[in-house]
């Protein structure tokens, strides 16, 4: 099997190496990842400047771009044949709820799904501040391998995007795997203003994590309960329920 791995934490991320080691038992692994951390880069492609790519080890490439750039280059240029599965991670921190819209980890997997390949984003959920003194990468790698094996053995024609969040717990303390819907997390709306040495203002975006809405069956609740949350995500963002309601608008506007 041909397996492509990427991430948004960079080519030197420990989570990337744990993931590659776990999946090497399943097939040929190619790693194409950003040359530095590109967290919260979302699904952006670099179109306004050239990219650099360096092979840092056999089948290991560092790209001077975003996670989506990495998957784009891997599938169109670097790999000799189409991958059977694309796995992004293991991310240093959760990608739960509305995080999926900002996440470079999820974006790398989504880019693979757009290309027509089953894709998985894997994240290790640290504490509420996104920190862990004892990250259990092995736990996340263990469940990533289980899920990728399922995908490879049931290679269906409909290509899927799956978001996986693993509690930062020793393997024996994780209670199992649960399907979960997308939840909702809260952050403080913060823009910090500072003044540089030349007396000009600059700004830092992003506030502290404030918790999650306790939606039954949501990924946030599932992980908080000690389970691995597996959330299938849609590539089609159309809200079909609202679309039905808007049909009368179309009639009113068009006459």
pLDDT in tens, 165-219: 999 999 999 999 999 999 999 988 889 999 999 999 999 988 788 889 999 999 9
d(CA 187, CA 228): 23
How confident is the model over 7-46, as pLDDT tens digits?
999 999 999 999 999 999 999 999 999 999 999 999 999 9
Q: Retrieve residue 26's tokens.
A: 């399943």
List C-alpha distances in Å: 187 to 6, 65, 190, 244: 27, 27, 9, 32
Distance of alpha carbon 134 from the chain centroid: 21
Task: Indicate the helix (H) or strand (E) that contains 153.
Answer: helix 137-153
Asked whether the beta carbons of 212 and 182 are under 8 A apart, the reply is: no
Lowest mean pLDDT among 99-103, 121-125, 138-142, 207-211: 207-211
DSSP state of 172: G
d(CA 31, CA 196): 39
List C-alpha distances in Å: 51 to 35, 62, 69, 79: 11, 10, 9, 17
Nearest Cα residue to 15 out of 169, 139, 99: 139
Check pLDDT > 90 for residue 253.
Answer: no
Q: What values do phi and psi take at 21, rounded to 5?
A: -65, -40
Q: Tell me, yes or no, if the pTM score tops 0.85.
A: yes
How confident is the model over 71-117, as pLDDT tens digits?
999 999 999 999 999 999 999 999 999 999 999 999 999 999 999 99
Measure the N-to-C terminal CA separation of the chain; round to a whole number of Å. Answer: 56
């Amino acid at each position: 099997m041909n397996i492509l791995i990427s991430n948004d934490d960079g080519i030197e991320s420990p989570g990337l190496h744990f993931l590659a080691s776990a999946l090497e038992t399943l097939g040929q692994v190619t790693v194409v990842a950003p040359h530095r951390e590109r967290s919260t880069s979302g699904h952006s492609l670099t179109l306004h400047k050239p990219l650099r790519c360096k092979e840092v080890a056999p089948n290991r490439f560092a790209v001077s771009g975003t996670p989506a750039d990495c998957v784009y280059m891997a599938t169109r240029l670097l790999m000799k044949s189409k991958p059977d599965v694309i796995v992004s991670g293991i991310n240093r921190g959760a990608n739960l709820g509305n995080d999926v819209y900002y996440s470079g980890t999820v974006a790398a997997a989504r880019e693979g799904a757009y290309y027509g390949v089953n894709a998985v984003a894997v994240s290790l959920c640290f504490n509420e501040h996104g920190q862990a003194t004892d990250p259990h990468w092995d736990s996340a790698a263990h469940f990533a391998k289980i899920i990728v094996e399922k995908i490879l053995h049931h290679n269906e024609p409909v290509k899927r995007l799956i978001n996986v969040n693993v509690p930062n717990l020793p393997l024996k303390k994780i209670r199992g795997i649960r399907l979960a819907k997308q939840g909702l997390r809260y952050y403080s709306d913060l823009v910090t203003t500072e003044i540089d040495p030349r007396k000009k203002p600059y700004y830092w975006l992003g506030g502290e994590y404030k918790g999650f809405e306790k939606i039954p069956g949501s990924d946030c609740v599932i992980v908080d309960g000690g389970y691995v949350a597996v959330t299938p995500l849609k590539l089609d963002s159309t809200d079909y329920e609202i679309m039905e309601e808007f049909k009368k608008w179309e009639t009113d506007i068009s006459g």
